[in-house]
Structure 1
């Protein structure tokens, strides 16, 4: 395969949004920066539907030293992902058991050195569970484990793939400090352990990443501030054609972030984030929207 085409194949395989070059196909199971305010504050017992929407664009590939690679490259990714959450009354390790599932629908459009491909498909499904804790009316946290299943389509000869074609487990901790009027702060810390892609004999390295948000509540349901993510690959990729430097990726993103909460279980968050300090990945920008509807 042409080197540039190989880079895009490394980049464009993703789940919710293709914000990726490190790890195989440059993407990852988790769409970095996906969470925002209230990430660690699960609602009371009940069934909830969250809707995620994102739009990502990139026209720059960055190498191991962070410099732009000489590739004519464009990537666009749009996604809509319903997330179903069931918060139970069942006690678990001092908290309440919560279960969830995410079914992403993804559209990818990539062009590299005159070659193009577009796909619109179901991505890799996420199943997870954990314990929700409410320390006070302000401090909340969640400890859980997500399993990412290779349900999306994958063809190693295609330029782009929506599915990753390997299993992944992701332990996580999310914490939220919430005030109607005053500081609001959120952090979701995740660790990704990836299995081998049996079609390519490639195993992506392990990843450490966090979503964050920091803002000010105005006492009327609105919060405004900043949000984004930090990403660092902490072990080398393994398999054919892995560069000597290990192909480890890194990135940081920040941008304006807002939230509206009606106080009755409905809330919406919106964020625009710009990537920087990027190595072995694509560098771009993304708009993300999240909405919760109680049932």
Structure 2
């Protein structure tokens, strides 16, 4: 592979893009949030580019009009708009680890979040979110089949106030394990899956610890032979352990117990497209959520641009 033939890299881009709300509005992990923006990755999830430095920019917009409870019923009407611009730096080294190339990445999202609750409060925040960084090792099994393994660390650099309706950061650390696979053919079938497991540490301001999360981004597509890939993509999400609140006077403890640990889930699907230029790539996606439990339900738009530096 050379710098003009790589696809979108796999390194985890766990951009903290969405709101950090209160337990009164959204359940399933604290504020109904995750460090990973579900479904952000599109094609080439399992391909690490050749040694070198790369720049990447994500532009996303999430729109939601309802909150879903533990049974999937509407719990509240809302108007949530979360817009983000995420510059990201990627460095792939010459160092080999178990036969694969070692790489690193770092990013810091710029967020603009608005939330209006019907017949209730509203809030607006703008600024930096939580920082993300981590290593990855990429393997090229053939010209068409690629895998990657990585670990991402999320640091609470975004502003946070437990009394605010929304926040720019989650105020806790997250460690995310990542395994991704890509099968790519410029003149045929393309398939990607990125499996992730999140361990969330306690929010020291609220003594609330969000449960462990298992989720996957996926795409299916067909290469047209002229640089274009057309298909569908989305995500599948399931929280696999209960939320907890360690403080003896935690107001959320009874709510967590009453809702089976506030375990969330969701699924999304929608059209996805990618175009490969002369050493650069641009991809776009729209996805609609369904089967949501204990989280906001909405639609997401993503555009991603990648190029060597």
How many corresponding residue pairs?
A: 280
Q: Which residue of 1 aligns with 2:82?
A: 77
Counterpart residue number, 2:301 = 287
Aligned to 1:60: 66
TM-score, normalised to structure 2, is 0.88
* 1:148 aligned partner: 154
* Deviations 1:96-138, CA, capped at 9 Å, x for gaps: 1010011111110001133111001100000110211111111
* Shift in alpha-carbon separation, 1:280–1:287, aligned structure 2, 3 A: same
Q: Is the 8 A contact 1:250 1:279 kept in 2?
A: yes
Please show how residues 211-250 of structure 1 align to structure 2 within 5 Å.
211-239=217-245, 240=250, 241=252, 242-244=256-258, 245-250=260-265
Question: Alpha-carbon deviations, 1:128-187, whole Å to 9, x = none?
Answer: 102111111111111000000011110000010110000110010111111110001111
Q: Determine the C-alpha separation between the residues in 2 that align with 1:168 and 1:51.
A: 22
From 188, 191, 196, give the equivalent of 1:185: 191
Superposition pairs of residues 87-236 of structure 1, within 5 angstroms: 87-112=92-117, 113-236=119-242
User: Which stretches in structure 2 are left out of the alignment for 5+ residues?
Assistant: 1-14, 21-25
Q: Under a length normalisation based on structure 1, what TM-score does the superposition of the two structures give? A: 0.92
CA RMSD of aligned residues (A): 1.3
| Long gaps (5+) in structure 1 | 1-13
Equivalent residue number for residue 37 of structure 1? 43
- Deviation of 1:42 (Å): 1.4
State how far apart, in whole Å, the 1-side matches of 2:162 and 2:34 are: 16
Structure 1 runs of 4+ with >2 Å offset: 17-21
For 1:217 and 1:81, the matched residues in 2 are separated by: 27
Question: 1:59–1:74: 8 Å Cα contact kept in structure 2?
Answer: yes
Matching residue of 2:269: 254
